[in-house]
Amino acid sequence: MPEVPGRRPGCFVVDLDGAMIGYITFDRRGAEHPGHVRPEAGEAALGYLFLPEAWGRGYAAEACAAALDWFAGALPSEPVVLCTQAANDRAMRLAAKLGFTEVKRFEDYGAEQWFGAWSSVTLPG
Ligand SMILES: CC(C)(COP(=O)(O)OP(=O)(O)OC[C@H]1O[C@@H](n2cnc3c(N)ncnc32)[C@H](O)[C@@H]1OP(=O)(O)O)[C@@H](O)C(=O)NCCC(=O)NCCS
For residue 122, the model assigns a pLDDT of 64
Q: How far apart are CA 55 and CA 49, in angstroms?
A: 10
pLDDT at 46: 98
Strand partners, 15: 20
In a domain, 36, yes or no: yes
Report the CATH number that the domain containing residue 71 is assigned in CATH: 3.40.630.30
Distance from the alpha carbon of residue 57 to the mean position of ligand 1, in angstroms: 6
19: in domain:
yes
Strand order across the 19-28 sheet: 10-16, 19-28, 44-50, 80-85, 111-118, 101-108
- Determine, yes or no, domain membership for 23: yes
Q: What is the Cα–Cα distance from 102 to 95, expressed in whole angstroms? A: 9
Centroid of ligand 1 to alpha carbon of 60 (angstroms) = 6
CA distances from 31 to 14, 28, 47, 95, 97 (A): 29, 9, 17, 22, 27
How far apart are the C-alpha atoms of 42 and 40, rounded to whole Å? Answer: 7
Q: Is 56 a member of any domain?
A: yes
Pocket of ligand 1 (CB under 6 A): 47-50, 55-61, 84, 88, 90-91, 93-94, 97
Number of structural domains (the chain) is 1
Residue at 5 is within a domain: no
Regions of the chain where pLDDT drops below 50: none
| CA 55 to ligand 1: nearest atom | 7
* Owning domain of residue 85: 10-118
Query: Does residue 57 fall inside a structural domain?
Result: yes
pLDDT in the model for residue 1: 77
- Domain assignment present for residue 53? The answer is yes
pLDDT for position 4: 81
Question: Which pLDDT belongs to residue 111?
Answer: 98
Please choose, from the candidates 91, 103, 92, 98, the residue with its C-alpha nearest in 3D space to the C-alpha of residue 29: 103
Cα of 90 vs centre of ligand 1, distance in Å, is 6
Give me ligand 1 centre to Cα 94, in Å. 6
Residue minimizing CA distance to atom 26 of ligand 1 = 58
Predicted TM-score (pTM) of this structure:
0.94
CB atoms within 10 A of CB 108: 14
pLDDT of residue 99: 97
Residue-level pLDDT at 123: 55
Instruction: Quote the pLDDT of residue 6.
Output: 79
